[in-house]
Structure formats: structure tokens, C-alpha cells
Chains A and B, each alone.
Chain A
Amino acid sequence: MINKIVSSTKEAVADIFDGATIHISGFGEAGSPIELIHALIDQGTKNLTIVSNNAGSGNVGLAALIENNQVKKIVCSFPRTAISVVFPELYRKGEIELELVPQGTLAERIRAAGAGIPAFFTPTSVDTPLANNKETRVFNGKTYVLEHALKADFSLVKCHAADRYGNLIYSKTARNFGPIMCMASKTSIVQAKKILEIGQIDPECVVTPGIFVKRVVEVSNPADESLLVAEKRRYPWK
């Protein structure tokens, strides 16, 4: 019998190892798997490379993981937000490494990794500092930059509902990087607001087919990051 459901966030992240590369879904708070990230803080693994669109807000979720000195490097398109304090401080001190990637290139590098494509040429970033020292090639008179697939050992993803096969559906713009991160990581770990019975998700509506999912844990009442940030909460909770 196939059953990808695990009973706790603690169990879900238990095998994440030192030095792992981890994809973390989310566009700001929308789709950020905050309970899985907090479980990873409790677990304590260090020297992580995190691939995520942003670098966290306030002192919870991804920002708290960085603040807890577990992150060596972040691969990111937009690490600067109004309430992002932890990352900018470490970055200015030179204590965390940043690989800045245009958002569409970030998405395509992740998608490519999941689709078995090692590299691709893109028109994005040609003649800009982000294309420095990268191979270029001209197709039909236009210049393109070579970008490489970005795979991960693990991904932490938030979705709306899942079944025991790992089929997933998402909620609105919280979908963002979730589907491609599930595809591109060896072990995709998903927190779902609801676990449904097999057959309850219409096959026409499945967004991430279960083959791309390794583990699912139910988090029925996930925290709203912006509320935690507004209340100046810190993880670990005090």
C-alpha cells in the first residue's frame, strides 16, 4: 500500500542532513511552509543552501531559520522586503552567501531540474551584471545566456489539500513555486491543510501528481506569517 502521510512535521524533516540543498516554496508568506521550517529549526541541521524566492520576514519562518545560523547560502530573486531584517544584517556583515537569480530564471532552473534538463539558454539577463562570466550563444541573431538546472536534496512545500498518493492541490497564488519544487527535489516534503481520501481530488484538478511527492504531513491550521510578524513573534516561541 502506498501511504505518503507522516504523522508529524518533526518526523517529516528528521532525515534532512548537514549541508543539504533545500527548496522552500512561497512568494513572501503566500505558500511558505512555516510549520515545516519551524520543525527544521527544532531539528537543527546546519550549513544549508536554501533556494527560495525571498529571504523571510520578521523573526519567524525562513527568517528564523537564517537567524538560527542554519543557512550558509541562499539562492533567491528578491531578498529585500520591507520587513526583512535578519538576512540584510547578515549579508552586510558578510556572514551569509547570496546567489541572486532573476525570478523567471530561478523558476526555470528549478523546473529544468525536475524535467531532466541539465541546462538551457534564456534571453533574461543578457548584457547585465547577472550574466557576468556566463556562457552565451546567439540563436537567430539574438543572444541568450546559459543557465543550469537547480536541483535539491529536499523541498519544503505548502499546499491546500493532499491524498495519501501525494496528489496535491494548492490555494490561489500560494501555488507559486510548490509544483516545480516538488519535481526538482529528491525528497519533497509537503504540508497540507487537509488530507483527503483517495478519489476525492478530481483527477482533472490535480496540480502536482503524487509521483513528485515523497511525504505529506497535515497542518490543519497553519500560522499566518504576516500576523506573527505584526505581533513581533520569534521562533523558537518564547
Chain B
Amino acid sequence: MAQKVALDIHDGAYVNLGIGIPELVADYIPEGREVIYHTENGLLGMGKVAEKGSEDFELVNAGKKYVTAIPGAAFFHHADSFAMIRGGHIDICVLGAYQVSEEGDIANWSTGDANDVPAVGGAMDLVAGVKTVFVITQHCTKTGESKIVKKCTYPLTGNNVVSRIYSNLAIIDVCDKKLFVKELAPGVTFEYLQEKTEASLFNK
């Protein structure tokens, strides 16, 4: 999945990768493409994770991992960082999700469980401001329920914001509040995919 996302990131793109699986995308960018990574805690030009023994406590990413900065990187304060996000200057963000709806709504910050301490971070700003929002997710939950739904039942992060979904079963585009299957994973048929998907799918 991460490899498929990486193929769709163009040369020269400014990209924000969400915490977890989306971070893997950086490992698959095809050679010859220059991509600049933004991390919302104030760095453009994030490099690889810091090697053991050379961590700098003042150089972290949004997941609070110790990272490095590439030559040509820039540091800035939080209001500027979110001006980059909200102001539409970041080309692509890649996020995980609990649910994505057929209209491109995304829920990825809260399960709504009253026992959980609610935490939102930069998720709502990213989906509201970044030009293209890619979601990378397993197609179904561990208990087999579709994560691609008619309507999100978890609290929303944003409304009508997702451009494309990369799941283990397919790549699906959100267009005019409908889901179009762009590519099926090897061995997956359209019928099987629809069976595993609560939302209605269309063949491109």
C-alpha cells in the first residue's frame, strides 16, 4: 500500500505523512523524485529517523520520534507551520483512518469512547487545508467490518475531503461524492471488493 501511494507522489511535492503506516511511504519514493517532507511541529525537509546514539531531543517529528533534517531544511514556529497546512501550500498528506465515507468524509481522531482521553492533534487542520488527502488503510477492521462506509459513525475529522483511498484490496478514488475503483489488488475481483465494502462502488 505504501509503495502504491509513493508512486502517486510527484517530483517536487511538499508532503505531510501521518503517524504510523503513512510514514512508510517515504521509503518507496521512486529514485529521481525530490520530495520535501513537512512535519507540523515546525520542519520542512525532514530526513530519516535519527540513528541510535545520535538522537537530538530538540529535533522530533509529529509522532515525537527523533528525526533528522536534510540539507536545505527550514525550521519555523507553529502558526507558520499551520499556515502552510491551512493555507493550501502542502500538496499531499497521507493519513490513516478509522472510517472513510462514500462522500469522502474521514473519521480518524476519536472512536467516541467516553473512556478514551480525546486527542486531535493536527488531523482536522490537515484535512481542511491540504490540497490532496490520501488515506492509507486496511479495507476492513480486525473484526471484519468495512472501514469504507456509507456514512461515518465515528466522530468526523473532516467532511468531503478525501481524494483517494489505498487499501489492501484496492485503490479507490472519491469523485463527486462517489467511489470509483481505480485499481484492484492482485486476485481481487470487483464483486469481492463490493462484498467487503459497505459503501457503493463504481467501476471506472
B119 touching A175, Cβ below 8 Å:
no
Nearest CB to that of B109 among chain A residues?
A128
Q: Does B79 contact A (CB under 8 A)?
A: yes
A78 touching B75, Cβ below 8 Å:
no
Question: How far apart sit A28 and B66, CA to CA, in the bound complex (Å)?
Answer: 12
Give the size range of B's interface with the partner: 35 or more
Question: How far apart sit A89 and B165, CA to CA, in the bound complex (Å)?
Answer: 36
Known: A102-B120, A173-B42. A180 touches B78 (CB 8 A): yes
How many residue pairs link A and B with beta carbons under 8 A? The number is 147
| 0/1 interface trace, chain A 162-185, chain B, CB 8 Å (1 if under) | 000000001111111111100000
B156 touching A128, Cβ below 8 Å:
yes
Question: How far apart sit A175 and B42, CA to CA, in the bound complex (Å)?
Answer: 7
Max count, chain B CB within 10 A of own CB: residue among A27, A81, A177: A27
Known: A125-B128, A171-B58, A178-B77. A92 touches B41 (CB 8 A): no
Q: Size of chain A's interface in residues, with CB distance under 8 A? A: 51
Question: How far apart sit A175 and B156, CA to CA, in the bound complex (Å)?
Answer: 30
Q: Does A79 contact B (CB under 8 A)?
A: yes
* B129 surroundings in chain A (CB, below 8 A): 104, 123-124
B119 touching A176, Cβ below 8 Å:
no
Q: What residues of chain A have their CB less than 8 Å away from a CB belonging to chain B?
A: 27-31, 53, 77-81, 87-88, 91-92, 98, 100-108, 110-111, 122-130, 170-180, 207, 224-226
| 6 other A-B residue contacts (CB within 8 Å) besides A98-B117, A126-B159 | A31-B58, A91-B117, A104-B86, A105-B125, A124-B125, A173-B39
Q: What residues of chain B have their CB less than 8 Å away from a CB belonging to chain A?
A: 39-43, 56-60, 64, 69, 75-79, 81-82, 85-86, 110, 115-125, 128-129, 155-159
